Amino acid sequence: MPRTKIAGIGMYVPKNVFTNNDLLKYMDTSDEWIQERTGIKERRYADRKNETTTTMGVEAATIAIERAGITPQEIDFIIFATISPDYYFPGCGVLLQRAMKLKEIGALDVRNQCSGFVYALSVGDQFIKTGMYKNILVIGSEKHSFGLDFSTRGRNVSVIFGDGAGAVVLQPTDDENRGILSTHLHSDGEAAEILAMYNPGTHANHWMPEKVADFDDAEIGEMFFSHSMIEKAQVFPNMDGQTVFKKAVIKFPEVIKEALSANNFQTSDLRLLIPHQANLRISQFVQQKLGLRDDQVKNNIQKYGNTTAASIPIALCEAWEEGKIQEGDLVCLASFGSGFTWASALLKW
Ligand code: ACO
């Protein structure tokens, strides 16, 4: 069975830089608070009208395809991970297929929040290993700036997130010293509401003891979205940050160790850990717990904030462009996020 290698990688971040101080115009916060709690100094926001989650994905994908040395016409499957899609449906995969004029190939959308890219990579890995596809495009992209609550009410969430995209082209390789060694996917829905955007949705207040949405009293239909939901600000993400933090610092090290031990490696063998850029304090805690040196962990949340499904491919691409990953290096990708879902992938570059 062949292994799956990353044949090309690309990233795109919007030009518009938003510093912590820029946020002061909209909410009661401070540069000091944000930096101390999250490590974030600035993030990028997409052009409101001219950029979407898909168009940013196209930018990153174009670079990845070029670096893989193939043409867009050779792509035979698309996997698009995002939680901020252009449309509620259809997904960004088909919009990217149209925008890039790709063949009439399959397009799969993955909704696994911060773990979206690693889940998508794992799916792509299976298709390559079985010989089903030869050139899979995997994209992680987010336009969070469009859907956050930028008033003081939403500050615990809004200051964290940023926009951007990353993409890779997956191909088979017979080289036993290269490629994805294993992937490890997990979930625990017990805490699904701890970090969630409830509306629009069909939940009808079924899962929570308290009402999280004002649905209309109509006998049938008209339940998906209501004026009251907008008036009462029920259309934004909710997060219990401390619970997320406590779970993340347990599950990140666990899933990284799982990947290493499945392949008989130690943390000292790692050239680079690319953690999902959730929060600098989480990454530092994980680094300390695993006894990794500074040069073994990639952090760029300071510049881009948390870009959810895009954060791992952006960090991986940046590390590669900086020359921090060479052929044969052992690299671990690891994520934790809403769901909860967590995942890792161990690869030889
Ligand atoms: N600016 C200023 N003050 C703020 C802000 C803000 N942006 N946000 C919250 N506060 C205030 C709160 O209102 C509260 O004030 P009070 O004490 O007067 O009530 C105070 O700061 C402390 O609030 P907490 O929510 O308890 O702050 P905490 O120290 O937990 O930090 C944070 C919040 C950064 C979200 C933290 O919980 C955290 O890092 N959690 C991890 C979650 C995470 O990283 N999520 C990322 C997305 S999910 C993922 O990718 C895994």
Confidence of residue 117 (pLDDT cuts 50, 70, 90): very high
Q: How far apart are CA 307 and CA 42, in angstroms?
A: 12
- DSSP character for 322? T
Mean pLDDT of 191-219: 89
Question: What percent of the chain has pLDDT above 90?
Answer: 91
Q: Which of 84-93, 118-127, 219-228 has the lowest mean pLDDT?
A: 219-228
pLDDT at 53: 98
With a 6 Å cutoff on the Cβ, whether 114 touches ligand 1 is yes
Q: Which helix (H) or strand (E) holds 51?
A: none
Q: Are 120 and 79 in contact (CB under 8 A)?
A: yes
Q: Is the pLDDT of residue 113 over 90?
A: yes
Per the prediction, the chain carries an average pLDDT of 96
Q: Is the pLDDT of residue 223 over 80?
A: no
- DSSP character for 153? G
Mean pLDDT of 52-79: 98
Q: Are 319 and 325 in contact (CB under 8 A)?
A: yes
Mean pLDDT of 137-148: 97
Ligand 1 atom with the shortest distance to the CA of 306: 50
Q: Is the pLDDT of residue 222 over 90?
A: no
Q: Which helix (H) or strand (E) holds 136?
A: strand 136-142
With a 6 Å cutoff on the Cβ, whether 160 touches ligand 1 is yes
Q: Are 274 and 166 in contact (CB under 8 A)?
A: no
Q: Which of 38-47, 119-128, 219-228, 241-250 has the lowest mean pLDDT?
A: 219-228
Q: Is the pLDDT of residue 226 over 90?
A: no
Confidence of residue 50 (pLDDT cuts 50, 70, 90): very high
With a 6 Å cutoff on the Cβ, whether 35 touches ligand 1 is no
Q: Which of 63-67, 132-136, 174-178 has the lowest mean pLDDT?
A: 174-178
What is residue 237's three-state secondary structure?
A: coil
Residue 287 Cα distances to 102, 242, 249, angstroms: 41, 19, 10
With a 6 Å cutoff on the Cβ, whether 256 touches ligand 1 is no
Which pLDDT tens digit goes with each residue over 243-290? 999 999 999 999 999 999 999 999 999 999 999 999 999 999 999 999
Q: Is the pLDDT of residue 106 over 90?
A: yes
pLDDT at 139: 98
Single-letter amino acid, residue 239: M
Mutation pick for ligand 1 pocket among 40, 242, 304, 312 (CB with most ligand atoms within 8 Å): 242
Q: Are 117 and 109 in contact (CB under 8 A)?
A: no
Question: Considering only CA atoms, which of 126, 132, 127, 142 is closest in space to residue 183?
Answer: 126
- Which residue in 20, 92, 276, 279 is the catalytic one? 276
Q: Is the pLDDT of residue 218 over 80?
A: no
pLDDT at 161: 98
CA angle, 223 as apex, 218 and 229 as ends, to 5°?
110
> Helix 280-290 to helix 241-262 angle, to the nearest 10 degrees?
40
List, in sequence order, every beta strand (DSSP E) within 206-327. Answer: 238-239, 272-275
**Both structure tokens of 97:** 């297929």
Q: How far apart are CA 236 and CA 150, in angstroms?
A: 10
Confidence of residue 173 (pLDDT cuts 50, 70, 90): very high
* Of 217 and 59, more confident: 59
pLDDT at 177: 84
Ligand 1 atom with the shortest distance to the CA of 160: 46
Residue 276: active-site member? yes
Residue 114: active-site member? yes
With a 6 Å cutoff on the Cβ, whether 337 touches ligand 1 is yes
Q: How far apart are CA 200 and CA 212, in angstroms?
A: 11
Residue 206: active-site member? no
Q: How far apart are CA 70 and CA 211, in angstroms?
A: 51
Residue written as token pair 């929040």: 113
With a 6 Å cutoff on the Cβ, whether 245 touches ligand 1 is yes
Confidence of residue 2 (pLDDT cuts 50, 70, 90): very high
Question: What percent of the chain has pLDDT above 70?
Answer: 100
- Which residue in 112, 199, 300, 306 is the catalytic one? 306
Question: Considering only CA atoms, which of 281, 260, 297 is closest in space to residue 184?
Answer: 260
Both ends of the chain: CA-CA distance in Å?
Answer: 18
Mean pLDDT of 63-87: 98
